[in-house]
Structure 1
Amino acid sequence: MKEQTIMLTGGGTAGHVSLNQAIIPSLQQLGYAVHYIGSEQGIEKELIGDAFPNVPFYGIASGKLRRYFSMKNFTDPFKVVAGMMQALRIIKKVKPQVIFSKGGFVSVPVVMAAKLAGVPVVVHESDVTPGLANKIALPFASHIFTIFEETLKHVPQDKATCTGSIIRPALFTGNRTKGLTLCGFTGEKPVLLVMGGSLGSVVVNDALRQNLPELLKRFSIIHLCGKGNLDQTLVDTVGYKQFEYVTTELPNLLHAADFVVSRAGSNSIFEFLALHKPMLLIPLSAQKSRGDQILNAKLFQKQGFADVLIEEELTKDSFMQAIESLVGRQSQMILTMEQTQRPKTPDEMVQLILQYKK
């Protein structure tokens, strides 16, 4: 009997890996051999390798796709071609029945190689509008799944479905007491969780730390500041706990939090929504990104799930004012969140993907 095999790809940021992390256990429970193609130096190698040592990981070359002028725009296409040839050799050796792509630059050569190898590709887009990598991938895809209904306007509608959010079950198993204990908090004050994405955010970190003495009068603060962004002068500050980055501890920390301040990556904000956490979103500016986080944040604001502070308007004072507004809207925001539909489980997402295997 032919072994059932699936290949996953996606990387560059944790947001391009988290859904893959969520569905791997479901696939393995169904008896599928899971293989992963990522970039040679990307965060996905660590995230997948640490959590799933039994999942073979293949690192390939991947050039960055830029919307702005750079001399690397003349050399990176050669990396994409090299990555495509590497991916093609891997695909022919592994022989997956289907490839699931979560996006990111590394997914482009993989999706192109899959087309050459005759392997169906399912693409997942989690932002309101497709990123550049997924835009390139769409013509090669058998089907595209989206989180937002609004995204269907930007993809071929004859091969696209909106699934809504997919939340890993482990998120709901978090424990507030464990989260408080991990931080050394008593639970007497409400907890403010501040995070700037898997790579951290200098502007968010600075806005928090500039206001730290005032905020600590009212909150205990969990700060996910990004790798290399710990402030050693604040390590012993009572009521303030810094982490560079967390994985298995995150559900406990989220359950401990009463309020969240975050960038507006779609995976994160849907997790906050699922846990009914009032959120202040500070999306990446259009100067630093293609503006996808701004669209995500504004849509959540329109639906009553979040307050939004645009990065260009972020100052020491505006940060404090936004926190005050968030606290004042806590009850209404939670009530609005409680009326949303149940997110899909990884098991349900896996069944959708497997429809397209050959």
Structure 2
Amino acid sequence: MNTIVLTGGGTAGHVTPHIALIPSLKENGWDIRYIGSFQGIEKELITKEGIPYYGIASGKLRRYLSVQNLKDPFKVIKGFFDAYKILKKLKPKVVFSKGGYVTVPVVLAANTLRIPVVLHESDITPGLANKIAMKGAKIICVNFEETLRYVGDKGILTGSPIRKALFEGCAEKGNQLCSFKAQRPVLLMMGGSLGSVKINNTLRKALPVLTKTFNVIHICGKGNVDDSLRELEGYKQFEYVGKELPDLFAMTDLMLSRAGANALSEIVALNIPSLLVPLSQAASRGDQLLNANAMKSKGYCEILIEEELNEETLIERLNLLHKNKLKYKNAMQQATQIKAIDKIINILNKYR
């Protein structure tokens, strides 16, 4: 039995590349299993795909002081023994890890059992989980060419897997879903699976002006729908979008987005001009700023740093982006299109 264990979690960005790979893994005869946390977003997303799911204890890897830092090492240790038992039973040929704190005990258990591990790093600089896991990995797949200098001889530029369904959307279905009455350019805002309070609030303040020019689709994150705006013409909000996302992408002219690596890969592949508002260094390890700057240096997007984000700057930058949208589309169309799924599948198939 050619069993492969996938692992990754904490955010949707650590799961969606797995989902993109699953159809090709099945076509190549892999028996797919998934190890994640008991209650993380990965459990909901993966069980929808019909993949057997195994939960383990997990402790968050924090870069700041917290009382939880005293408890979480014990959770990681328990997670290691949980993962060890699962892997020993499943006997996979290989573990493919996408990152996130839940992956650390899985990768360490795989190393102990001498199961090959292949990592994938989406950001320019490796996250803490992948930094810990790198020493025991056979291969480190990376999304950005700039990342190769951080991962040594194990690094291979593959790009990030993108779901084929994203290229198969229908703009007419998207319009039916949103029920926009006027024909205007469509602005799509995505702030990540949990949403972004600051971008959500700023966008809503700007709606009286923006909806004169754009139809606005707002994916605002779980629990962030504003009921007072449900009937506003030219504005449609969603907590989270699943199978409908390709249809929304198909009708989108511009995007307002955070700068998570997987979202950026999708934006470039779909040639959508974007205004990026990366998480500030104060609120993250700075990976989104690096991601966004790499995109801007290639001419793919514009950046509005969070400290400068307000109603006026948002309107100004979006109007400028719209005015020059062909410039960004042309730059992205000329980009080298890496067939990430094929490259990663070829790597994993070596361990069958």
Partner of 2:105: 109
Partner of 1:151: 147
Unpaired runs of 5+ residues, structure 2, are none
C-alpha distance in 2 between matches for 1:67 and 1:105: 12
Unpaired runs of 5+ residues, structure 1, are none
Partner of 1:295: 290
Q: How does 1:39-50 map to 2 (within 5 A)?
A: 39-50=37-48
- The 10-residue stretch of structure 1 (106-115 or 247-256) with the greater mean CA deviation from structure 2: 247-256
C-alpha distance in 2 between matches for 1:64 and 1:218: 43
Pick one of 267, 275, 288 that aligns with 1:272: 267
Q: How does 1:176-255 map to 2 (within 5 A)?
A: 176-186=171-181, 188-255=183-250
C-alpha distance in 1 between matches for 2:345 and 2:181: 40
Residue deviations 1:316-345, cap 9 Å, x none? 111111112211220111111110112315
Residue deviations 1:234-264, cap 9 Å, x none? 1111111100001111111111110000000
Quick check: 1:71 aligned with 2:41? no
C-alpha distance in 2 between matches for 1:61 and 1:184: 44
SS in 1 for 2:110: helix
SS in 2 for 1:63: coil
- The 10-residue stretch of structure 1 (66-75 or 112-121) with the greater mean CA deviation from structure 2: 66-75
C-alpha distance in 2 between matches for 1:311 and 1:120: 40
SS in 1 for 2:348: helix
Contact residue 190 and residue 258 of structure 2 kept, 8 A: yes
C-alpha distance in 2 between matches for 1:319 and 1:283: 14
Contact residue 100 and residue 122 of structure 1 kept, 8 A: yes
| One-letter amino acid of the counterpart of residue 12, structure 1 | G
Pick one of 88, 92, 104 that aligns with 2:88: 92
Contact residue 3 and residue 92 of structure 2 kept, 8 A: yes
Contact residue 98 and residue 354 of structure 1 kept, 8 A: no
C-alpha distance in 1 between matches for 2:318 and 2:56: 43
Partner of 1:10: 8
Deviation at 1:187, TM superposition (A): 6.3
Partner of 1:123: 119
Partner of 2:345: 350
Deviation at 1:167, TM superposition (A): 2.0
C-alpha distance in 1 between matches for 2:341 and 2:181: 34
Task: Give the CA RMSD over aligned residues.
Answer: 1.1
Quick check: 1:140 aligned with 2:136? yes
SS in 2 for 1:119: coil
Partner of 2:281: 286
- TM-score, normalised to structure 2, is 0.98
Quick check: 1:20 aligned with 2:18? yes
Deviation at 1:354, TM superposition (A): 2.3
Deviation at 1:353, TM superposition (A): 2.2
C-alpha distance in 1 between matches for 2:347 and 2:317: 40
C-alpha distance in 1 between matches for 2:308 and 2:138: 42
SS in 1 for 2:166: helix
C-alpha distance in 2 between matches for 1:138 and 1:32: 24
Partner of 1:82: 78
Deviation at 1:164, TM superposition (A): 2.5
| One-letter amino acid of the counterpart of residue 28, structure 1 | K
| One-letter amino acid of the counterpart of residue 291, structure 1 | G
C-alpha distance in 2 between matches for 1:132 and 1:66: 9
| One-letter amino acid of the counterpart of residue 106, structure 1 | V
Pick one of 53, 68, 73 that aligns with 1:57: 53
C-alpha distance in 2 between matches for 1:142 and 1:165: 18
Deviation at 1:28, TM superposition (A): 1.2
C-alpha distance in 2 between matches for 1:33 and 1:335: 41
Contact residue 284 and residue 294 of structure 1 kept, 8 A: yes
Identity %: 53
Query: In the comparison of the two structures, how many residue pairs are matched?
Result: 352
C-alpha distance in 2 between matches for 1:154 and 1:4: 31
Pick one of 155, 158, 179 that aligns with 1:160: 155
